[in-house]
Amino acid sequence: MATAGQAINAAAARLAGVGIDTAHYDARLLVAEVLGVEMRRLPASHHAELTGDEAARLAALLERRAAREPMSHILGRRGFWTLEFAVTADTLDPRPDTETLIEAVLDALEDRGRPRRLLDFGTGTGCILLTLLSELGHATGLGIDASPAALAVAGRNALSLGLAPRAEFRLGDWGEGLNGQFDVIVSNPPYIPDAEIDGLEPEVARYEPRSALAGGSDGLECYRRLIPHMARLLAPGGIAALEVGAGQAVDVCALLAAAGLAGASVRRDLGGIERCVIVRRIK
């Protein structure tokens, strides 16, 4: 039977052979998963032989990854900010790009310790709302999504992170029927132009929910529906922040201004792409 180190090398070769750039890293994750050890402890197990059951499980997981199923779906979890979130095929994967929105919101808040009401449209896993709640200890939040399955995942994440007492999740169509005033409104809406989805990397095009990707013919359809609700629900002095796709920031700023939320600024992600539009409602 192969040792863990041999299994990693063989798995990495298999994944590299189908064009996966992160082949060796993914192989290490898969072997750590079947051995039930943390990645940082994997070197201590390199000479340990896999049991027959472990080898069989690794082979099954490896075939899933070779078919370009995302690692997050295989493992059922993904890290975001400083937290770990459960993910399923019903939710968009949390991505490092979205941490740009978290940074922008936190930087814009002058007193993080005061009570605030947060609203997250298209909450998915709840990663944006729950991350902000983890950083804002006196805030409460509401997450809206059109998918009951996604809301179930968000609820489980709130429980596992100990944030359920301050988080509520509700089925909804953007802001339809929603009233009240919120101090922070955030969203990572679908923004991929419909015609471009099939050309995305297989992990996205084949496995992530199309409803969480498709932004209409120009990628801006959801912003047109969402922004009027943001303008209606944002409290005086409140902050609204939206993730945007490459090249969309100017158009989204214009939509915000047309809805009465002028003066938006843009923040770039680590790749230099304009990724977040943020605006404060003047008191």
Our separate counts of H helices and E strands in the chain read 10, 9
Residue 219 within a domain: yes
Alpha carbon distance, N-terminus to C-terminus of the chain: 69
Among candidate residues 19, 41, 67, the one where a domain is terminated: 67
The total of other beta-carbon atoms located within 10 Å of residue 176's CB is: 9
**Is residue 125 included in any domain, yes or no?**
yes
Domain of 244, CATH number, reads 3.40.50.150
Annotated binding residues for S-adenosyl-L-methionine, written as ranges, equal 122-126, 145, 174, 188
Domain tally for the chain?
2
Residues 61 and 196 in one domain: no
- Residues flagged as binding site: 122-126, 145, 174, 188-191
In 248-282, which positions are buried (b, 16+ CB within 10 angstroms) versus exposed (e)?
Answer: bbebbbebbeebebeebeebebeeeebbbbbbbbe
Based on the fold, state whether residues 128 and 174 are members of the same structural domain: yes
**72 within a domain of the structure (yes/no):** no
| Domain of residue 29, residue span | 4-67
Tokens representing 29 are 């994750």
- What is the spatial distance between Cα 237 and Cα 249, in angstroms, rounded to a whole number? 22
Residue 14 placed within a domain: yes
Residues 60 and 200 both lie in one domain: no
Annotated binding site for substrate: 188-191
Q: Per-residue pLDDT tens, the chain, 283 aa: give them.
A: 789 999 999 999 999 999 999 999 999 999 999 999 988 888 777 788 899 999 999 999 999 999 999 999 999 999 999 999 999 999 999 999 999 999 999 999 988 989 999 999 999 999 999 999 999 999 999 999 999 999 999 999 999 999 999 999 999 999 999 999 999 999 999 999 999 999 999 999 999 999 999 999 999 999 999 999 999 999 999 999 999 999 999 999 999 999 999 999 999 999 999 999 999 998 6
How far apart are the C-alpha atoms of 93 and 96, rounded to whole Å? 10
Distance CA 222, CA 224 (A): 5
